[in-house]
A and B are shown apart, each in its own frame.
Chain A
Amino acid sequence: MKVFVPGDSAAISVGADDVAAAITKIDSSIEIIRNGSRGALWLETLVEVETPSGRIAYGPVTVQDVSSLFEADFLHGGSHALSLGKTDEISWLANQDRVTFARVGIIDPLSLDAYCAHGGLLGLRKALELSSQALIDEVTDSGLRGRGGAAFPAGIKWRTAAQATSDQKYICCNADEGDSGTFADRMLIEGDPFTLIEGMTIAAIAVGATEGIVYLRSEYPYAIAILQKAIDIARADSWLGKSVLGSAHSFDIQIRVGAGSYVCGEETAMLESIEGKRGVVRAKPPLPAIEGLFGKPTIINNVLTLATVPMILAEGAAVYKARGVGRSLGTQVFQLAGNIARGGIVETAFGITLKELINTYGGGTLTGRPLRAVQIGGPLGAYFSTAQFETSMDYESLIAAGGMLGHGGIVVFDDTVDLAVQAKFAMEFCAIESCGKCTPCRIGSTRGAETIDLIIQGVRVYENKRLLLDLCEVMTDGSLCAMGGLTPMPVKSAMINFSSDFTGAAR
């Protein structure tokens, strides 16, 4: 008898471990699979039972519910107050278009058999048949863009590194997922780590790299443990190592754990950190694809970018790029967070409206109060008002609306939010997390927080708003990296979209 109790951090945080233990305590013969999370976080702990007619879901289950589940004969899909029916038929999940997250929540993350049974390694096997050129063409053709936030075409980056001549090249996976309201990297690593390993291996073959590094933040201890186990399994299975799946390619992966600096998610600061130095941003050029880790050509991609590659290879670029709109092709893994009724992972093709994401999937605010603001793209993303709810969720439309998609995190606020306070928070966040290298970011962020504070206090509001806007220009155009460069985005969007919060009068 198989029961699925997610081993995902989010599920564990609401008691999944206790639930699993309680089930075993009652019937130790039950095989408990610690799958990844399905991403419907408001339903965690989401317990699933495998039945002849498919997996039946119950949730959110707490440890107190376990005995009643047994009483309701949940092992055979028995009816219970927490019954959700067949998992596949939960509309919140069924309506999504899971590509990158196709296996997350479904399989045992550390079962190579399960991985292969669900299409794993098909992409890598295809890649081994292709020339480097053809492989990179396929990725380029798919329209896949960097999911870390910069949205740079992955294929072009790969081509640059492939064309660089060097005795050593590296694949670096950026898993320093520091944006507030984002958790997709973590959930993918915890739920389907082999996909990431496969994606990195394909990238390595494409550019001729032999060493891979996953830069994983220390705040993700479960992800670190799971990924390490997965790497060990892949190595034992001769998938990683001297001869990748029996081919002439050599590739191995190691994990480097970040020490808790937000800016180390910036790619060049990440390289410095991996090299054992202070996490400080490098000036570009040189591009990391030409001169990256230890001065060698280096591909740096986000977890989601790399994890999408196996599917593109397995099913073909055409299948992938059939989704999406304009130049935003394929799917985006949105993460709904903040004051929202139904938070979690929503993977859909680009082009869904903000409104549909927030209302249809998210179900409005958790508090039930009127929704006032939505921040898209992490702490450096813009604040949108409900007036902008028809915005299409794709790279270009969001930029046109004064925002950015970033890593796909969406944080919802109800009508108690004060956007001046949020703007100040953006500057404070920057002041704390700035690497301290370039002056606009190093000093500007502190001055920004001080100036917004004066506006809130009603001190020379007009002059200080003027000064703040000047500062925003200096930071946007003068900063060395996106940290200082994007901090004005939440500030300015708040000032524009919620100008009433910046009058100096108490809200």
Chain B
Amino acid sequence: MTMIFEPDFGTPASHKLDQVNLEIDGRTITVPADTSIMRAALVAGIDIPKLCSTDSLKAFGSCRLCIIQIDGRNGTPSSCTTPVAEGMKVSTQSEKLDRIRKGVMELYLSDHPADCATGDECEVHGVAKKIGITTSRYTNTETHLDLVKDESNPYFTFDSTECIVCNRCVRACDEVQGTFALTIENRGFEARVSSSGTSFIESECVSCGACVQACPTGALTEKTLLTIGTPTSSVITTCAYCGVGCSFKAEMRGEELVRMVPLKTGGANEGHSCVKGRFAYGYATHTDRITKPMIRAAITDPWKEVSWAEAIAYAADGLKKIQSESGINAIGGITSSRCTNEEVFVVQKMVRAAFGNNNVDTCARVCHSPTGYGLGQTFGTSAGTQDFESVEHSDVIMLIGANPTSAHPVFASRMKKAIRKGAKLIIIDPRVIALVRTPGVVAAHHLQLMPGTNVAVINALAHVIATDGLIKREFVEERCDAQSFSDWEKFISLPENSPEALEASSRVPAGQIRAAAHLFANAKNGSIYYGLGVTEHSQGSTMVMGIANLAMATGNIGRKGVGVNPLRGQNNVQGSCDMGSFPHELSGYRHISNPDTRKIFNDAWGIELQAEPGMRIPNMFDSAIVGEYRGLFVQGEDIAQSDPNTSHVHAALRAMDMVIVQDLFLNETSKFAHVFFPGTSFLEKDGTFTNAERRINRVRPVMKSKIGKSEFDVACELSTAMGYPMSYENSAAIMDEIAATTPTFSGVSFKTLDELGSIQWPCNEANPAGTPTMHIDHFVRGEGQFMKTPYVPTDEKASRKFPLLLTTGRVLSQYNVGAQTRRTANNIWHTEDILDLHESDAQLRGIEDGSWVKLSSRVGETIMKARITDEVPAGVVYTTFHFPESGANVITTDYSDWATNCPEYKVTAVEISPSIKGPGEMIETHISGDPQLDSIIRMANQIAANVPESGAPEIQIAHHLVQFWTPSMIERLQNDVNKAELSPIVLKAIEILLVRN
């Protein structure tokens, strides 16, 4: 393996269409207008020395090494700051230029260590050699060589003695990251780079690494580069944290990973990174890693290390035994959004082919399943409509229930860049997130709604747009279904949807809604970005449809700068959904009930697929508690920590007879497991991840698998042991099968991916290079479908006993359940989950900042530290769920989205009180009765409440049940439920289903 070298053309590319011809050193060169002379020369292979310029940053013109001479012009301008012009004649070499460059370099060398710590990494010595000078005539001079190193950041050092004050770090922090944490202090010779007058760790720095990346010397250096040494080889791969899916060069020295360097040609990140992807990869080689399979008879027994063969046989025997006793549907599996598309595809295939049922679900159930439902209904496909770059073309950006500076930092930087260029920002969030006001960004509107009232706000916005004549009728008439639009328009124009009528629920002043609606509707390009603050609600799917309605009504679909864009939580949550992980869908979002789709797989796999949907994760838990569901394979997801209502989840896991966990580490779920299969980290995987912009990125192995095999081999072996032989030569072969069976992936192969770098699906004959923007001429489903979105308040209401509403989220330095980040130095920033509350709520309860508080809901209680802040309004409290000790999900309930069962993580009625002691045992509630029946009743009534009353609601309900419920659940609804507990429309729907049968 060799080092992958990315050329640096000094200044950013020009996007001008007109071309300019010029002559450089006698060579005729044609480049786009506004290109710098430097870039024109470097692209043509003519070298120009430089230190302060790099093509990720605007030209600065400070080092004065890149000077050139131009015929007919005076002086020696810098080539980085001088744009090309037609007919220009440029010389990059002359005696005079050589003299000045040497003179400048002498100045640099007079205040720079003769031997840099990073050796050849230092561009000063490299450029000095190139221009033929190694020493300086200035001697016994004043220097900065006695300055002290700042080692405060866990990942990189700042050594001011090596700093040449080129400002690349400061500019990267400003222009690329948008944090403005760095500056230059003092003037003249005393000008030095400073993390704004304090140490890096105490500064505003977010450790994204952009400054380290930009630094041409050893001044800002990864600590690993100093301890491990210069890398000798590199591999391009994809980050395994959030759904942005940044591309990195993993740089190795022998078998050791030296550093992760963001890839400039990475489609998602274009050379940028965040603290997690750039630095927090140490978990992959953490000593906690389990690398050998383990089994045990009972969850109270100690684990026993066994061979792979024994572990596989033990697991298969257990599962087969269950099926022989309780039927083919008594087992199932959960695929992982942390795993590759290939691994996911194989696991869902194992469930459908070897387990013989459709009981496969994925962790997207608890995050973006409403996106799948909502966008599927309105647009016809479950995915964001744009690429990330699109946001830089937006004039107005609406950000709903997402906190990208913490959860999607690299995308947040792009968004901030767009805002600094003039885009307006509308934020809909209960919390004062950073983007409301941060350096360079002031949101035009912050609609600070109460948790659980998203639909009220989106309806109010749409109402204003409809009733103030702001609908883009031309777009709607040309692109959308006329009947659904006119129904929707009537519905949304009803007075009950006006901002004034909904103000009491949402607490957003009507005037603000009206102003924001006008701003958005009048934008040339308006885009909507949203996160789990939209989906994780009892009306999550309704809200997604409300967002889609708004985008269609304002004509914001089908070009750059617009669209509806879910910010996906996990690296491959898009991919795991694409790969057929949902119980009702096969890969490419094709319903299991479609015989043509089933035929493709029946033929390919030599099986007979069940035609009805299998169980969703919550259905699995409910069935487990009543003893019908007894065996589970769960890969790379810690459901015991991450799923809501921990008591309920634990009870379900405890009730099962064979729980198989595959993970990097022992986790909360493995406490209930009988078999533990070790997994592989992203650094060992070979495959693909698909990010939030539908971009399929290659994941390439950087080091040998620590478990001695590929992770997909384990599913294949388990499948084979279950009686369905399965094996693949490599991941590429799996992708070939995906492509052969999935129309939207038909053009995808590892070969094409290696050629193109990445591909955004759909990729097929019509779009061989993929599809950056979707729905350009028509929607995937044909015409855009407007959906009525009645606002139904959640049943989870603040009460006298639980007067506060808890909402949850993430911080920058930690990631989800923390399995990865807690095993890195990121703990320096965030060591525990903290409860944020407003001062008035704190005073009322005698709670002091930093003190312990007991947090309780109707399902459980826990203890954590309080932080008094005005980032949450009175009546709302907030925490993260990164640490198992705090067990935030002990508090959250099993209420969920009516259409998809996505848990309502974002609204839990709670009470808090001072606590004299810190966290101890979490208090779980006893689960009794028939939770499955309770869920069936609640879900059925919830569906009825959310289906619009007009237009045969019973038929819609019946259709929904057949599409998404398992046959056994429908059966219980028909036979076991006390009819008095069901809404009359559900009863009508049951009648329809009976007739149908």
Binding site for B on A (CB under 8 A): 261, 263, 278, 280, 283-285, 430-447, 450-451, 463, 467, 470-471, 473-474, 477-480
Chain B residues whose C-beta falls within 8 Å of the C-beta of A441 in the assembled complex: 188
Known: A431-B188, A442-B191, A474-B99. 19 other contacts (CB 8 A): A278-B184, A283-B61, A283-B81, A285-B81, A430-B188, A435-B187, A436-B187, A436-B190, A438-B64, A439-B63, A443-B110, A443-B111, A447-B138, A447-B141, A467-B138, A471-B103, A478-B67, A478-B103, A480-B62
Q: Are A439 and B108 in contact (CB under 8 A)?
A: yes
Q: Are B104 and A261 in contact (CB under 8 A)?
A: no
| B137 close to A (CB within 8 Å) | yes
Give per-residue flags for B53-95: 1 if the beta carbon is below 8 A from chain A beta carbons, else 0: 0000001111110010000000110100111000000000000
| B96 close to A (CB within 8 Å) | yes
| B915 close to A (CB within 8 Å) | no
Chain A residues whose C-beta falls within 8 Å of the C-beta of B183 in the assembled complex: 278
Q: Are A443 and B64 in contact (CB under 8 A)?
A: no
Q: Are B141 and A436 in contact (CB under 8 A)?
A: no
Chain A residues whose C-beta falls within 8 Å of the C-beta of B191 in the assembled complex: 434-437, 442
Chain A residues whose C-beta falls within 8 Å of the C-beta of B100 in the assembled complex: 473-474, 477-478
Q: Which 4 A-B pairs have the closest CB atoms?
A: A436-B191, A474-B103, A283-B61, A283-B81
Choice from A430, A434, A474 contacting B107 with Cβ under 8 Å: A474
Residue of B whose beta carbon sits closest to that of A280: B184
Residue of B whose beta carbon sits closest to that of A432: B188
Given the known interface contacts A436-B191, A442-B191, A443-B108, the answer about A470 and B62 at a Cβ–Cβ threshold of 8 Å is no
The CA-CA distance from A439 to B52 in the complex, in Å, is 10
Residue of B whose beta carbon sits closest to that of A261: B187
| B978 close to A (CB within 8 Å) | no
Residue of B whose beta carbon sits closest to that of A470: B103
Given the known interface contacts A263-B187, A285-B83, the answer about A444 and B167 at a Cβ–Cβ threshold of 8 Å is no
Q: Are B76 and A478 in contact (CB under 8 A)?
A: yes
A-B contact pairs, 19 of them (CB 8 A): A285-B83, A434-B188, A436-B165, A436-B189, A436-B191, A437-B60, A439-B63, A439-B64, A439-B108, A439-B164, A443-B107, A446-B141, A446-B188, A451-B138, A474-B107, A477-B75, A478-B67, A478-B76, A480-B64
Nearest CB of chain B from residue A436's CB, rounded to whole Å: 3
Give the bracket for the number of chain B residues in contact with chain A.
Answer: 35 or more
| B18 close to A (CB within 8 Å) | no
Q: Are B96 and A439 in contact (CB under 8 A)?
A: no
Chain B residues whose C-beta falls within 8 Å of the C-beta of A280 in the assembled complex: 184
Residue of A whose beta carbon sits closest to that of B99: A473
Given the known interface contacts A283-B61, A283-B81, A434-B189, the answer about A446 and B142 at a Cβ–Cβ threshold of 8 Å is yes
Q: Are B107 and A447 in contact (CB under 8 A)?
A: yes
Give per-residue flags for B103-135: 1 if the beta carbon is below 8 A from chain A beta carbons, else 0: 110011011000000000000000000000000
| B483 close to A (CB within 8 Å) | no
Q: Are A436 and B108 in contact (CB under 8 A)?
A: no
Choice from B61, B64, B83, B110 contacting A447 with Cβ under 8 Å: B110
Nearest CB of chain B from residue A430's CB, rounded to whole Å: 7
Q: Are B64 and A479 in contact (CB under 8 A)?
A: yes
Chain A residues whose C-beta falls within 8 Å of the C-beta of B142 in the assembled complex: 446, 450
Nearest CB of chain A from residue B327's CB, rounded to whole Å: 70
Q: Are B138 and A440 in contact (CB under 8 A)?
A: no
Chain B residues whose C-beta falls within 8 Å of the C-beta of A444 in the assembled complex: 107
Given the known interface contacts A443-B110, A447-B110, the answer about A436 and B188 at a Cβ–Cβ threshold of 8 Å is yes
Given the known interface contacts A285-B83, A473-B100, the answer about A450 and B141 at a Cβ–Cβ threshold of 8 Å is yes
Residue of A whose beta carbon sits closest to that of B67: A478
Chain A residues whose C-beta falls within 8 Å of the C-beta of B59 in the assembled complex: 283
Residue of A whose beta carbon sits closest to that of B58: A283
Chain A residues whose C-beta falls within 8 Å of the C-beta of B108 in the assembled complex: 439, 443
The CA-CA distance from A340 to B141 in the complex, in Å, is 38
Nearest CB of chain B from residue A275's CB, rounded to whole Å: 13
> In the complex, which residues 146-194 of chain B have their Cβ closer than 8 Å to any Cβ of chain A?
164-165, 167, 183-184, 186-191
The CA-CA distance from A451 to B141 in the complex, in Å, is 9
The CA-CA distance from A385 to B165 in the complex, in Å, is 39
Choice from A283, A451, A471 contacting B78 with Cβ under 8 Å: A283
Residue of B whose beta carbon sits closest to that of A466: B137
Q: Are B61 and A445 in contact (CB under 8 A)?
A: no
Nearest CB of chain A from residue B81's CB, rounded to whole Å: 4
Nearest CB of chain B from residue A323's CB, rounded to whole Å: 29
Residue of A whose beta carbon sits closest to that of B96: A477
Chain B residues whose C-beta falls within 8 Å of the C-beta of A439 in the assembled complex: 62-64, 104, 107-108, 164
Q: Are B62 and A437 in contact (CB under 8 A)?
A: yes
The CA-CA distance from A477 to B75 in the complex, in Å, is 6
Nearest CB of chain A from residue B824's CB, rounded to whole Å: 35
Q: Are B64 and A442 in contact (CB under 8 A)?
A: no
Q: Are A438 and B96 in contact (CB under 8 A)?
A: no
Given the known interface contacts A436-B165, A439-B104, A473-B99, the answer about A285 and B82 at a Cβ–Cβ threshold of 8 Å is yes
Chain B residues whose C-beta falls within 8 Å of the C-beta of A434 in the assembled complex: 187-189, 191
Q: Are A437 and B110 in contact (CB under 8 A)?
A: no
Q: Are B188 and A445 in contact (CB under 8 A)?
A: yes
The CA-CA distance from A467 to B59 in the complex, in Å, is 30
Nearest CB of chain B from residue A69's CB, rounded to whole Å: 48
Chain A residues whose C-beta falls within 8 Å of the C-beta of B83 in the assembled complex: 285
Residue of B whose beta carbon sits closest to that of A472: B103
Nearest CB of chain A from residue B44's CB, rounded to whole Å: 22
The CA-CA distance from A438 to B187 in the complex, in Å, is 11
> In the complex, which residues 335-393 of chain B have their Cβ closer than 8 Å to any Cβ of chain A?
none
Chain A residues whose C-beta falls within 8 Å of the C-beta of B188 in the assembled complex: 430-436, 441-442, 445-446
Chain B residues whose C-beta falls within 8 Å of the C-beta of A284 in the assembled complex: 81
Q: Are B99 and A470 in contact (CB under 8 A)?
A: yes
Chain B residues whose C-beta falls within 8 Å of the C-beta of A451 in the assembled complex: 138
Chain B residues whose C-beta falls within 8 Å of the C-beta of A443 in the assembled complex: 107-108, 110-111, 189
Chain B residues whose C-beta falls within 8 Å of the C-beta of A435 in the assembled complex: 187-188, 191
The CA-CA distance from A430 to B78 in the complex, in Å, is 21
Choice from B81, B104, B186 contacting A436 with Cβ under 8 Å: B186
The CA-CA distance from A285 to B137 in the complex, in Å, is 33
The CA-CA distance from A445 to B96 in the complex, in Å, is 20
The CA-CA distance from A283 to B78 in the complex, in Å, is 9
Chain B residues whose C-beta falls within 8 Å of the C-beta of A480 in the assembled complex: 61-62, 64, 78
Chain A residues whose C-beta falls within 8 Å of the C-beta of B63 in the assembled complex: 438-439
Q: Are B103 and A436 in contact (CB under 8 A)?
A: no
